């Protein structure tokens, strides 16, 4: 599968003429949701480059393009291949997505009379599935911070004699700075991978996609070498400021000090362990990187990334149906076109359409924040996030979207909803100055929609959040407002909600 391109897997330690490796471009994978064109291209290109690597190493390999597989689903394709090569034994790597796991489990069960089936670990994550289940309880709201500390102890990263280096586990409070106007932002490292053949194939097979791809070359890394180059670039140019400006928003650059390693990680061209170890090595060797930066980066990988996987596997399939706030609205049309007058959203959506990428705070506090305030059905929000981002695979997309961003899991991932008014966006970003809407105006014509929608959200979910201590202050401050103020804010919000497709 396209997300199993692990060069270091023990499968490949020896060449075995009896073993045939199958890599196949599948219609089902290209169409289970409407993906960004760059995402489909990146997966196919990475699969091809992985196939070339395996062939060079002397492994027997069958690479099937969409021209060969047409619309065959995975089970039918496997039957066909097994028949033609007379296979008696089938090994597959444990899939990351529930959907594929179901398919392969059903497939294997139905053929167990004649086929010897073995599912092996993908040898990528820091925890295997059994360990995950031990560290992430399947009920309640496990705390990421507790999980993260266990992971620090387990990996020994940034630990000294059983204690966290610097005497502190977490330096998050140092990591919330807005971007100074004079600060130079590194240009993202991009590649120029020729992908004309893949684009033609996608067109020939009428795969519907979203997003833009202006050239016939792909800027994302598609091989292990390129992924390692990106890692080197990150530790040299971005890690020194990673944590400090992790939450900043700007239209002066599209990836700021973020690593853009999520695609390489999620398709397994590089491993979380090697990324962390290289970053720690760079920190130890350089005076430019302080502890808060390296700690902030490690927390994302050994903390959030593994934790989200734990939430996914302990809660699927029910998780995908959760809609705790009973949100039913449609996603505004401009999520697909970028045509909105709200400057922050226009920038985040257009950037996502152009690059198949937005950094975490754009996803959480701009596009996610708006969708939550507008009461959009989490199915639609999930479909958008699953399609648009280069790194979107359900195990990490749904936990971040339905859980962290939309609070649709009722507080499993987030202890309170990630919502804000324009105040936060104005403080952390530089969009508001150029916006048609006024960030300082709370209601009425021309007021920033985030302001009234924020209070509308608080008002309509008062009952849900009444027992949540983290929401006490905000609920009290809403109640303290005059009746006339509240009415004016709610009227403005209702008007914006009614007209949300043309904001
Ligand atoms: P950096 O900021 O450089 O972080 C380094 C690495 O840490 C990332 O590459 C990623 O592997 C990991 N990481 C950081 N934050 C998270 C997180 N919250 N959960 C899991 N891993 C994390 N990430 C995905 O990989 N795929 C998704 O489909 C995805 N969907 C998201 C949807 C929403 C609504 C939100 C709020 C977040 C989502 N994330 C997703 C998490 C995060 O935004 C991306 O991992 C990150 O933006 C990728 O860019 P980067 O590689 O430059 O990350």
Q: What pLDDT sits at residue 60?
A: 96
Residue 350 Cβ inside 6 Å of ligand 1? The answer reads no
Give the pLDDT band (50/70/90) at residue 463. very high
Q: Which of 101, 128, 147, 170 is nearest to 413 (CA)?
A: 147
Distance (angstroms) between ligand 1 centre and the Cα of 467 equals: 30
How far apart are alpha carbons 368 and 44 in whole angstroms?
A: 28
Q: Which of 263, 273, 303, 261 is nearest to 172 (CA)?
A: 303
Distance (angstroms) between ligand 1 centre and the Cα of 65 equals: 29
Residue 343 Cβ inside 6 Å of ligand 1? The answer reads no
Whether the bond into 142 is cis, omega within 30 of 0: no
- Ligand 1 mutation pick, 227, 234, 391, 397, max ligand atoms within 8 A of CB: 391
At 365, give phi and psi (nearest 5°): -100, -5
Q: What pLDDT sits at residue 176?
A: 80
Q: Nearest-5° angle of CA 7, CA 12, CA 16?
A: 155
Q: What is the largest CA-CA distance in the chain?
A: 79
If you average pLDDT over residues 329-352, what whole number do you get? 97
Tokens of 492: 């403005």
Q: Which of 375, 387, 40, 365 is nearest to 222 (CA)?
A: 40
**Environment class of 200 (CB within 10 Å of its CB; exposed 0-12, middle 13-18, buried 19+):** exposed
β-pairing verdict for 116-120 and 89-93:
parallel
Atom of ligand 1 nearest to the CA of 363: 36
Atom of ligand 1 nearest to the CA of 238: 3
Residues 58-114: pLDDT tens digits? 999 999 999 999 999 999 999 999 999 999 999 999 999 999 999 999 999 999 999
Q: Which of 28, 480, 500, 328 is nearest to 2 (CA)?
A: 28
Residues 252-278: pLDDT tens digits? 999 999 999 999 999 999 999 999 999
Q: Are 268 and 5 a contacting pair, CB within 8 Å?
A: yes
Question: Positive or negative CA dihedral for 52, 56, 59, 62?
Answer: positive
How far apart are alpha carbons 221 and 294 in whole angstroms?
A: 23
Q: What pLDDT sits at residue 32?
A: 96
Q: What pLDDT sits at residue 148?
A: 97
Distance (angstroms) between ligand 1 centre and the Cα of 262 equals: 6
């Amino acid at each position: 599968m396209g997300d199993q391109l692990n060069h270091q897997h023990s499968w490949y330690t020896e060449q075995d003429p009896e073993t045939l490796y199958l890599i196949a471009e599948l219609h089902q994978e290209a169409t289970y949701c409407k993906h960004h064109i760059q995402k489909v291209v990146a997966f196919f290109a990475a699969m091809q480059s992985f196939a070339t690597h395996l062939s060079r190493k002397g492994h027997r390999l069958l690479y099937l393009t969409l021209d060969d597989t047409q619309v065959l689903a995975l089970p039918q394709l496997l039957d066909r291949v097994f028949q033609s090569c007379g296979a008696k034994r089938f090994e597959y790597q444990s899939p990351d997505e529930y959907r594929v796991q179901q398919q392969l489990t059903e497939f294997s069960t139905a053929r167990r009379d004649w086929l010897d089936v073995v599912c092996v670990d993908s040898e990528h994550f820091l925890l295997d599935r059994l360990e995950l289940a031990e560290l992430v309880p399947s009920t309640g709201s496990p705390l990421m911070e507790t999980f993260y500390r266990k992971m620090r102890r387990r990996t020994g990263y940034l630990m000294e004699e059983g204690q966290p280096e610097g005497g502190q586990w977490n330096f998050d409070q140092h990591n919330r700075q807005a971007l100074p106007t004079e600060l130079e932002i590194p240009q993202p490292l991009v590649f120029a991978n020729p992908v004309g053949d893949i684009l033609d194939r996608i067109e020939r097979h009428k795969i519907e996609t979203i997003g833009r791809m202006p050239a016939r070359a792909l800027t994302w890394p598609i091989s292990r070498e390129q992924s390692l180059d990106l890692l080197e670039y990150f530790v040299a140019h971005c890690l020194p400021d990673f944590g400090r400006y992790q939450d900043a928003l700007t239209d002066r650059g599209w990836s700021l000090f973020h690593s853009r390693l999520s695609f390489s990680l999620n398709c397994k061209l590089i491993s979380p362990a090697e990324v962390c170890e290289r970053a720690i090595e760079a920190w130890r060797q350089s005076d430019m990187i302080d502890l808060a930066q390296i700690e902030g980066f490690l927390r994302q990988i050994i903390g959030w990334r593994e934790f989200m996987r734990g939430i996914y596997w302990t809660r699927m399939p029910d998780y995908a149906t959760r809609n705790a706030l009973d949100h039913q609205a449609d996603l505004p049309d401009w999520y697909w076109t970028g045509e909105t007058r709200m400057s922050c959203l226009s920038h985040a959506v257009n950037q996502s359409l152009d690059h198949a990428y937005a950094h975490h705070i754009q996803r959480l506090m701009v596009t996610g924040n708006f969708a939550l305030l507008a009461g959009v059905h989490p199915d639609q929000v999930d479909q958008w996030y699953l399609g648009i981002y280069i790194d979107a695979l359900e195990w990490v997309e749904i936990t971040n979207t339905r859980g962290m961003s939309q609070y649709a899991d009722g507080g499993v991932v987030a202890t309170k909803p990630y919502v804000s008014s324009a105040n936060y966006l104005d403080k952390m970003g530089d969009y508001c100055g150029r916006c048609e809407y006024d960030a300082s105006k709370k209601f009425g014509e021309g007021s920033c929609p985030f302001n009234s929608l924020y209070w509308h959200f608080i008002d309509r979910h008062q009952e849900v959040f009444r027992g949540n201590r983290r929401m006490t202050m905000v609920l009290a401050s809403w109640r303290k407002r005059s009746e006339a103020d509240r009415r004016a804010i709610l009227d403005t919000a209702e008007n914006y909600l009614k007209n949300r497709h043309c904001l």
